[in-house]
Amino acid sequence: MSDRIEGVKKLFTSKSARVETNKGESYYLDLFEKCQTRLSELRASQPANRLDFSGLLNDNGIDRRDFMKWVSATTAMLMLPPMFSPLVAEAAELMNRAPVIWLELQDCAGNSEALLRSDGPKIDEIVLDIISLEYHETLQAASGFQAEKQLDEAIETFKGKFLLFVEGSIPMGMNGQYGTIGASGETFHDHLMRVSKDAAAVIAVGACATFGGIPAAAPNPTGAVGVMDVVKGKPLVNIPACPANPVNMVGVVMHYVLTGQLPELDSLLRPKFAFGYRIHDNCERRAHFDAGEYVEEWGDEGAKNNFCLYKMGCKGPMTFNNCSIVRYNEAVNWPIGVGRGCIGCSEPDFWDKYAYERPMANAKIKAPTGGVEKTVDEFGLGLLTAAGIGIGIHAIASAVGGKKDDGGEA
Amino acid sequence: MNSEYKQVKRMTTTGRIIHWANAISMVVAIITGLYIGHPYYQTFIADGAVDKYVMAWNRWGHFIVAIIFDVTSVVIAYLFFFSRFEKAYKKVIPTGKNIAQFIEVIINLATLNRRKKFDSTHSDSFNSVYFLIFHLLLAWMLLTGLQLYVSGLESGLSSIGKWWPWMLHISTDWTRGVCGGTIMDVRIVHHYTMWYIITWVVFHIYYQVWRTIFWKEADIAIVFGGSKFVKEK
Ligand code: HEM
Ligand code: SF4
């Protein structure tokens, strides 16, 4: 009976946002051994570049102590018990054994920027620096035929082994002609399909690559879609948000380097360690939400006192992401922390459905009847008015010409 | 009193209690729901956050009536099929007889009671269908509401055990797909459905009053005393 219950439970909850943070001692002991074997194999293998991790840390003024703090935080983020810390530290040093190809499709390069443009790179960025980036369309020096040759070589050398990072959506309109790349004018779609064929796993980063993002916002002129809509039959991880948090990219790569597997995913293929949390439930302004204290207008008394941003359109209650916990730029700050609401950038269709910067109840959206966009309440009041007019007409007609049963023979 | 009238029992005490519990809950759900959607009154700035808890109380009220709806819905669904008093489902099955009656009731309404060719002693099939629509709307409100609610239980834990969020995921996750894919769509639909229900209520009240005035059978008394009065034939 109990295993049947377990079976049913698994069937129905495997894809929900639920996070199992404690899987039991035997599970972790087993995993620990597997990770150890994997790391020693990796160490024996040829590093893909000669970047020296501890040297890089030193150059950027990060001492051992900072590094160990980062290690514990990362271990906790991946929901592993503390005994995994030494393995995580080791995996960070072995990151240069993980070949990565990075494709740049229809987007603003914001995710690459998020990695690169931090003044004084933090440990997350350094870790991403030393992964063996075999090919990155925005960063590489090569161009034209030379670049294509480099890509072919990378695919050939690391066939079935490289992680494919994809940034940007795929325009499907006009046979994909909205986006082409390279000297031969290959469409983004064909480009992605060709490279993903030989990848060990595909990691879509940012709102565009995951769910189509801003290019896919109504009316979606280019017919943009996310990677998961076109790449089938490959292990796929979505790391949405605009931009994706480098912490979560590190988390996924780290998990892969450490265990050889992708982390546990939710129904939208987002890693649960990062997207199993609702912003609203870990938000520092939550007490003000419950108290009914809201910022009513930018810069008002409430804003000066860090009141809740719900009435300014914060979508934290409907958004799953860990930025209320890990924040951005090595926990310096995050959108709600700087005093503006969450726009739900890690959720599908966020530009149309979340980012209108007012509560949903006040937003002009498409009504079920079509026509001019209106708020839900405008639609409702319209409906009610129509019903009221109908009833009024019927009532007057009844009063004038209705037949009352008893005695009221007309 | 005119002796040609006979009293017909139409609603049990349980039925009437459920009716009024629902009516009051509905008013509370609308008032608190609209506050949750857009907090429309402000709290006193001078008070400390712990003292007022205005949103929290509104959400609490909303969820309490949700529980009342939950429980009464289960009872009503049961009575719909198994009531010893009046098995309502028999009136909503589209048999020839029911369809004919359904049309006659509409004609009666449209002709301002000039034509009345059906027996109004017992619940007619038009009203039965109309009430069924209400219960479906309410069930939809429950399902979408519980889906919104379970998104706050993302840890998979709850004060009454893990089974609760687990059950809610099983029974309501599909509403996300039906509403348009995101949790925000569920919220939009939850809010729209409120307006459908309000419109439903407005016509419902009008129609019961209208029946009372024009049929002269004291239909409105059903929901208070449990009976109406029809002429002996
Ligand atoms: C039939 C009566 C009901 C009405 C009229 C109603 C109305 C509303 C409205 C207008 C909102 C605000 C939506 C928005 O604009 O953002 C809301 C929110 C909500 N409702 Fe209902 N609702 C009803 C029943 C329920 C039920 C049965 C549940 C079940 C638990 C429920 C749970 C919720 C939840 C969880 C929210 C979101 C609250 C939050 O995130 O803080 N509602 N409701
Ligand atoms: S600021 Fe946003 S996430 Fe934070 S408590 Fe308010 S509504 Fe929730």
Report pLDDT for A120.
Answer: 57
pTM of the model: 0.86
The answer to whether B81 touches B89, Cβ cutoff 8 Å, is: yes
Nearest Cα neighbor of A77 from A317, A245, A314, A209 is A245
Q: List the pLDDT tens digit at each of the 410 positions of chain A.
A: 677 677 666 655 545 445 667 788 888 999 999 999 988 888 888 777 767 788 888 888 888 888 888 888 888 888 888 999 999 888 888 887 788 888 999 999 898 888 776 555 677 777 777 776 777 777 777 778 888 888 898 899 889 988 899 999 999 999 999 999 988 889 999 999 999 999 999 999 999 999 999 999 989 999 999 999 999 999 999 999 999 998 898 888 888 888 888 899 988 999 999 999 999 999 999 999 998 999 999 999 889 999 999 999 999 999 999 999 988 877 789 999 999 999 999 999 999 999 988 999 999 888 777 777 889 999 999 999 999 999 999 999 999 988 887 644 43
Q: Provide the residue type at B66 as one letter.
A: A
| Structure tokens that stand for A115 in this block | 């990695």
Choice from A281, A284, A293, A310 to test ligand 2 binding pocket (greatest atom count within 8 A of CB): A310
The answer to whether B223 touches B9, Cβ cutoff 8 Å, is: no
Mean pLDDT of B85-96: 82
Which of A313-322, B1-10, B95-104 has the highest average model confidence (pLDDT)? A313-322
Nearest Cα neighbor of A87 from A132, A51, A39 is A39
What burial class does residue B41 get, using C-beta atoms within 10 Å of its C-beta: 0-12 exposed, 13-18 middle, 19+ buried?
exposed
Rounded to the nearest 10 degrees, the angle between the axes of helix B96-110 and helix B125-150 is 100
Q: Which of B184, B188, B199 sits opposite A387 (nearest CB)?
A: B199
Residues with CB under 6 A from ligand 1: A 317, 360-361; B 26, 29-30, 33-34, 36-37, 59, 62-63, 66, 69, 138, 141-142, 145-146, 148-149, 187, 190-191, 194, 197
CA neighbours closer than 13 Å in the CB half-sphere of residue A323: 27
Mean pLDDT of B198-211: 96
| Structure tokens that stand for B135 in this block | 């219960």
- Is the pLDDT score of B101 beyond 50? yes
Q: What is the DSSP letter of A212?
A: -
- For chain A, the C-alpha Rg in angstroms (whole number) is 26
Q: Is the CB of residue A90 less than 8 Å away from at least one CB of chain B?
A: no
Q: Which residue has the tokens 């990219």?
A: A249
Q: Which of B154, B169, B232 to mutate to test the interface with A (most CBs of A within 10 A)?
A: B154
Distance CA A199, CA A134 (A): 13
Distance CA B199, CA A385 (A): 9
Three-state secondary-structure class, residue B158? coil
Q: Which of A290, A315, A384 to mutate to test the interface with B (most CBs of B within 10 A)?
A: A290
- Concatenate the DSSP letters of all residues of A175-207 into one string: GGTT-EETTTTEEHHHHHHHHHTT-SEEEEEHH
Q: Which of A281, A347, A401 sits opposite B152 (nearest CB)?
A: A281
Residues 6+ away with beta carbon under 8 Å from A140: A147, A150
CA neighbours closer than 13 Å in the CB half-sphere of residue A307: 25
User: For residues B181 and A124, which has the higher predicted lDDT (pLDDT)?
Assistant: B181
Q: Does domain A279-363 have CATH number 4.10.480.10?
A: yes
The bound ligand whose nearest atom lies closest to the alpha carbon of B146 is: 1
The answer to whether B160 touches A327, Cβ cutoff 8 Å, is: no
| Structure tokens that stand for A362 in this block | 């006040």
The total number of residues shown for chain A amounts to: 410
Report pLDDT for A410.
Answer: 38
CATH number for domain B5-231, candidates 1.20.950.20, 3.40.50.300, 3.40.50.360, 3.40.50.2300: 1.20.950.20
The answer for A 369-398 residues in CB contact with B (under 8 A) is 376-377, 379-381, 383-384, 387-388, 391, 394-395, 397-398
Lowest model confidence (mean pLDDT) among A109-113, B39-43, B114-118, B147-151: B39-43
Q: Which of B37, B165, B202 sits opposite A359 (nearest CB)?
A: B37
Q: What is the DSSP letter of A49?
A: S
pLDDT tens-digit series, residues B44-53: 656 666 667 8
Q: Does domain A2-13+23-273 have CATH number 3.40.50.700?
A: yes
Backbone torsions φ then ψ of A255, nearest 5 degrees: -60, -40
The answer to whether A242 touches A205, Cβ cutoff 8 Å, is: no
Q: Which of B45, B191, B202 sits opposite A361 (nearest CB)?
A: B191
Give chain B's mean pLDDT: 89
Q: Where are the domains of chain A?
A: 2-13+23-273, 279-363
The answer to whether A16 touches A267, Cβ cutoff 8 Å, is: yes
Q: Is the CB of A286 under 6 A from ligand 2?
A: yes
User: Could you tell me the distance, in angstroms and rounded to a whole number, from the CA of residue B62 to the centre of ligand 1?
Assistant: 7
Closest residue by CA, ligand 2 atom 5: A286
Contact A360 B191 (CB under 8 A): yes
Choice from B22, B59, B73, B141 to test ligand 1 binding pocket (greatest atom count within 8 A of CB): B141
Report pLDDT for B61.
Answer: 96
Q: Where are the domains of chain B?
A: 5-231
The answer for B 17-46 residues in CB contact with A (under 8 A) is 34, 37-39, 42-43, 45
Report pLDDT for A408.
Answer: 41
